[in-house]
Amino acid sequence: MADHYETLGVSKDASAAEIKSSYRKLARKYHPDVNPGHEDEFKAISLAYDVLSDSEKRRNYDMGGGENGQSGFPAGGGFGGFGDIFETFFGGGGGSAGGPMPRTQRGKDALVGVNIDLETAAFGGNIDLDVATAVVCDTCSGAGTQQGTSVETCTLCHGAGSVQRMTRTLLGQMVTNQTCNSCHGFGTVIPNPCLNCQGDGRVRKQRTMKIRIPAGVSDGTRIQLSSQGEVGPGGGPAGDLFVEVMVARHEVFQRDGDNLRASVSVPMTAAALGASIPFDTFDGSQELSIEPGIQSGTVVKLPGLGATRLRSETRGDLLITVDVVTPDKLDDAQKDLLSQLAKLREEETPRAQITTQNRGMFSRMREKFAGR
């Protein structure tokens, strides 16, 4: 069993953030849509993240649980190999006294990543998703046999899926049940397997799906699509498909929960005199009101123009930070005008005003009694 920590390239005391960061980097590298031929690596990375990102599963895994992070003793043996003893005496896996395994089984769940832009994440939308997965073989319709043939009862186990073996032990002769080597526990064999799927009843195929991204998703959100995963052996029912959303950076807006943030630069004159500036948003052009005397760093709020809240129709706000730009290249006429302004405002020789952020109670009392 592969070590999940080694798979993700993190230490055993790695934080949740480190695990998530490493997973995303590896998932982008080995995603089948980006780097075909690395499906096994992608599955191993996804399994490792599924276990280590869940605190309960990670705890069980660190205590010796199975690779899926299930609770219990280590696979194949707590208490000095109890699992091995049980398998030896009563048969392990495949057919047993309970009967043969069915050839038709449910498919595995699948996890894929999808990159979307900020606008789709904030407001939702339909996207096309290319998925390489197992589908029912269209040659045999999932039966696994060539046309005109069928499965046959195993002649070794006579359909039981298991055979009895006589073994000598310190306690004497013991009769054990073991999975039939001829039919591998199914109780039946396929003498003439389908040439397209080699008897599995399914084949791997690239398919394009149109999926709906709900409004308000964020980076790391997983969307579950029931019965859209891998078709099971023997043409069995499909598992579920989980789509993990990865939101690309936007050149103007940043996500802050349900709010969107942006910055705008305004000239010093507009900041002093006030202005109305057109600002392009996801809802079209809006008038941004710059109040006279606005200071650099002031946040102007445009209510209701933020991201949609997940599973809701309400929206956050658009928060725009104002950056006042001081001119650094002035001609003589401009310098003269600014000098006149400084003279009118008696600011020809400005004095620094120190603002105390945290004044103690006794300092405030002194200022009060001093008449300041």
CA 115/CA 245 separation, integer angstroms: 6
Query: CB 20: neighbour CB atoms within 10 A?
Result: 17
Question: Of 198, 192, 226, which Cα lies nearest the Cα of 137?
Answer: 198
Residue the block writes with tokens 């999975």: 179
Phi then psi for residue 282, to 5 deg, are -65, -15
Asked if residue 280 has pLDDT above 90, the reply is yes
Token pair for 256: 């802050």
pLDDT of residue 79: 37
Decide: helix, strand or coil at residue 135. strand
Residues belonging to the binding site for Zn(2+) are 137, 140, 154, 157, 180, 183, 194, 197
Asked if residue 1 has pLDDT above 60, the reply is no
CA 228/CA 12 separation, integer angstroms: 34
CA 160/CA 152 separation, integer angstroms: 13
Could you give the domains of the chain?
1-75 (1.10.287.110), 254-342 (2.60.260.20)
pLDDT confidence tier of residue 74, bands split at 50, 70 and 90: very low
Residues constituting the chain: 372
Strand partners, 209: 129
Strands (E), the chain: 110-116, 125-136, 152-153, 162-169, 172-179, 188-189, 202-213, 222-225, 241-247, 254-256, 259-267, 275-281, 284-290, 299-302, 318-325
Residue the block writes with tokens 């904030």: 122
Phi then psi for residue 101, to 5 deg, are -75, 145
Asked if residue 10 has pLDDT above 80, the reply is yes
Asked if residue 91 has pLDDT above 50, the reply is no
pLDDT confidence tier of residue 318, bands split at 50, 70 and 90: very high
What pTM does this model have? 0.62
Exposure letters 88-127 (e unless 16+ CB within 10 A, then b): beebbebbbeeebbebeebbebbbbbbebebebbbbbeee
CA 138/CA 144 separation, integer angstroms: 10
| Residue, of 331 and 80, whose pLDDT is higher | 331
Instruction: Write the single-letter amino acid at 309.
Output: R
DSSP state of 235: G
CA 192/CA 145 separation, integer angstroms: 6
Instruction: Write the single-letter amino acid at 312.
Output: S
pLDDT confidence tier of residue 90, bands split at 50, 70 and 90: very low
Convert the pLDDT of each residue in 178-204 to its tens digit.
899 999 999 999 999 999 999 999 999
Span of 15-29, 232-246, 351-365 with lowest mean pLDDT: 351-365
pLDDT of residue 169: 63
DSSP letter for each residue of 95-128: SBTTBPPPS--PPPPEEEEEEE-HHHHHH-EEEE
Residues belonging to the binding site are 137, 140, 154, 157, 180, 183, 194, 197
